Structure 1
Amino acid sequence: MSHNEQAYLDLCQTILQKGNEKSDRTNTGTLSVFGHQMRFSLQEGFPLLTTKRVPFRLIASELIWFLRGDTNIQYLLKNNNNIWNEWAFKKWIESDSYKGPDMHDFGNRSQQDPEFKALYEKEMDNFKAKIIEDDQFAKMFGDLGSVYGQQWRAWKTSQGDTIDQLTQVIEAIKTNPDSRRHIVTAWNPEDVPSNMALPPCHTMFQFYVADGKLSCQLYQRSGDVFLGVPFNIASYALLTHLIAFECNLEVGEFIHTLGDTHIYTNHLQQVNTQLDRTPYSLPKLKINPELTSIFDVEMEDLEIIDYKSHPAIKAPVAV
């Protein structure tokens, strides 16, 4: 059994046994613990969970989106990635431009009412098609504001300049590997209240170089343990691999530190299903050795090898 995956399964068990019942922004309800840390040895294998299928393609295309500094879901949809749809869709249905049927609280209603679900899916398909085909519509409703990509690559300063945090941290790792300042932050207090579709959950990450290996620690203020955290683990493991590749280093550890660590109450059955499964061995990640810069990475430059998993487990997204 992988110690990496067991760290995640132990977290699920801890929340089920010790979690506090809490209300939340989405009115779904959660079981929550505060302050938890998991460690993943990237030498052991790539931490893509095996107790349910986790789609690496979605993780990779989202990370590429971040690396490019993009904040519009048009790129994601063109790559068949629907991770961020709900937040952009919410922006559209709450605008004066939307003339369709009432879609309020669509996340919960679509789980409870089959007739509404069919209506919602029709509206969502219409929305996605418009985002892909109509650049002006995408500009109006596909952009999520100053989310991760912009904060990583074009942090706005009080002087009106921008800071490319990711480029700077890569250069610092290459030239001053022992620095304690290899930090990228996505939490911009000025943008959080008014200019982000969703305030960043993974707020800050730091790199550490020792023995020729690159490690990364993420601080995540809020973690949806069933749906979101498996993606976050794999995404930051992939980021660590890519930065190590860029800096000619091996990979070390990914350390995942979480604040409000929660399971939504409408995910409890799914979590228990996952806990009943036995993990398989972890897969391996292969990066195209001819890649010259991680900022030019394409999907075909990344490959997951020997990934064996149990089937996917569906659950509603709380928006």
Structure 2
Amino acid sequence: MRHPEYQYLDLLDHVLANGDQRMDRTGVGTRSIFGALLRFDLSGGQVPILTTKRVYWKTAVREMLWFLTGGTNIQPLLRDNVRIWTDWPLAAYRRETGEHIEQAAFEQRIVADDAFAARWGELGPVYGKQWRRWLGADGREHDQIGTLIETLNTNPASRRMLFHGWNVGELGDMALPPCHMVYQYHVTSGGRLNCLMFQRSVDLLLGAAFNFVGAAALQLMLAQQADLTPGELIWVAGDAHLYLNHLDQAHEQLAREPRPFPTMRLARRAASIDDYRIDDFVVEGYDPYPPIKGEVAV
């Protein structure tokens, strides 16, 4: 059987060979295709943590756990040594104050100074806010994750088991509108939990690997909370692109042959979806190639 990571590598190769080259919002430029689908079977314990480069999977899981808190400020992320969201508030700070502060100094102030963090570490109503505290027109807040877990437990045949982050009325207040924006779930008659995640926009070199890990970790948590077993993770992309300053790195990754996917399991049964911690996630058998670095386009 062909290694499932080749689905991702084939997509990289297709974008390099056939992608439409154009300028984008960031000014960096991309080569992109529209419409992609990858399928990963989680039922045997293996998860799609890419092996053709090192993926810092704990960072991706910590980000997912932060989403589940409903938080929108980067301070707790930085206290967990997660820096993947710093670029957007840092750019806003530099733009609004005119001070060209170094990233490390900015992050240190966010961690140490609560008032500074409240003013400059806020991302607006991004993922967690929409997932856990979607504000309805009547002023009521809706916990989409809580409703999903209740439905998984009480009506697993439902075709309405989903949550999303594309709140049109609040997009303008977000540092970045949601990229992985819709998650839909399906339970088989044999008790397997499948997930289809739609991503409107994906940075294939830097973002996709984290999105695979985050979605898989969430699927394991939801399955445990509903006494189900993980099934398929189906990843669907709209605009799948490589930034023009990532093309050499993509070629480097394509030259590597995938190694076996690692396994991921939960070390304990958490009391609720809000009770998971990074130490609950046990990854075994991960033997990746060295990391491949690239600049984030903001």
Corresponding residue of 1:28: 28
Match of residue 202 from structure 1: 180
Shift of 1:4: 2.2
How do 1:1-319 residues align onto structure 2 when only pairs under 5 Å count?
A: 3-44=3-44, 45-95=46-96, 98-101=97-100, 123-192=102-171, 194-210=172-188, 211-319=190-298
1:13 alignment partner AA: D
- What SS class does the counterpart of residue 261 from structure 1 fall into? strand
Which AA in structure 2 matches 1:41?
Answer: D
C-alpha deviation, 1:99, in angstroms: 4.8
* Distance in 1 (alpha carbons) for counterparts of 2:29 and 2:70: 33
TM-score by length of 2: 0.97
- Aligned 8 A contact 2:224 2:269 in 1: no
CA contact (8 A) 1:2 1:282 kept: no
State how far apart, in whole Å, the 1-side matches of 2:116 and 2:98 are: 14
Structure 1 residues 121-179: Cα deviation after superposition (integer angstroms, max 9, x where no partner): x6111110110000011000101000000000000111111000000011001100000
Q: Which residue of 2 aligns with 1:108?
A: none
| Contact 2:39–2:235 (Cα < 8 Å) also in 1 | yes
Aligned to 1:39, the other structure's residue is in SS state strand
Q: Which amino acid aligns with 1:170?
A: I
Cα separation, 2, equivalents of 1:163 and 1:3: 40
What is the SS of the residue equivalent to 1:207?
A: strand
Match of 1:191, SS state, is helix
Q: How far apart in 2 are the matches of 1:299 and 1:250?
A: 20
> Does the Cα contact within 8 Å between 1:2 and 1:281 map onto a contact in 2?
no
Distance 1:3 1:214 in 2: 22
What is the rounded CA distance, in whole Å, between the counterparts of 1:224 and 1:52 in structure 2?
15
User: What value does the CA root-mean-square deviation take over the aligned residues?
Assistant: 1.1
Alpha-carbon distance in 1 for matches of 2:104, 2:237: 34
Please, which runs of 5 or more residues in structure 2 have no aligned partner? none
Deviations 1:226-248 (A, max 9, x none): 10011111110111111001111
8 A contact 2:3–2:258 mirrored in 1: no
Q: Is the 8 A contact 1:205 1:219 kept in 2?
A: yes
Is the 1:215–1:251 contact (alpha carbons within 8 Å) kept by the matching residues of 2? yes
Q: What TM-score results when the alignment is normalised by the length of structure 1?
A: 0.91
Question: What one-letter code is carried by the residue in structure 1 that aligns with 2:261?
Answer: L
5+ residue gaps, structure 1, are 102-121
Cα distance in 2, alignment partners of residues 2 and 81 from structure 1: 34
Moved more, 299-308 or 80-89: 299-308
8 Å contact 1:284–1:305 — kept in the other structure? yes
Could you tell me how far apart the structure 2 residues matched to 1:177 and 1:274 are?
A: 40
Q: How much does 1:298 deviate?
A: 0.9
> 3-state DSSP class of the match of 1:21?
strand
Q: Which amino acid aligns with 2:155?
A: N
Give the aligned partner of residue 109 of structure 1. Answer: none
Alpha-carbon separation, structure 2, partners of 1:267 and 1:278: 19
- Aligned-partner Cα distance in 1 for 2:268–2:107: 35
Once residues 146 and 82 of structure 1 are traced to their aligned partners in structure 2, the CA distance between those partners, rounded to angstroms, is 19
Deviation at 1:2, TM superposition (A): 5.9
Instruction: Quote how far apart the aligned CAs of 1:88 are.
Output: 1.2
Q: Name the CA distance, whole Å, in 1 between partners of 2:142 and 2:159.
A: 19
Any idea what SS the aligned residue of 1:257 has?
Answer: strand
Q: For 1:90 and 1:43, how far apart are their aligned partners in 2?
A: 42
Which secondary structure does the structure 2 equivalent of 1:158 belong to? coil
What is aligned with 1:117?
none
Q: Where in structure 1 do 4 or more consecutive aligned residues deviate above 4 Å?
A: none
Separation in structure 2 between the aligned mates of residue 2 and residue 61 of structure 1, nearest angstrom: 31
CA distance in 2, matches of 1:294, 1:49: 26
SS in 2 for 1:309: coil
Structure 1: distance between partners of 2:286 and 2:273: 23
| Structure 1 CA distance for aligned equivalents of residues 208 and 277 of structure 2 | 24
Asked if the contact 2:166–2:181 (Cα under 8 Å) also holds between the matched residues in 1, the reply is yes
Aligned residues: 296
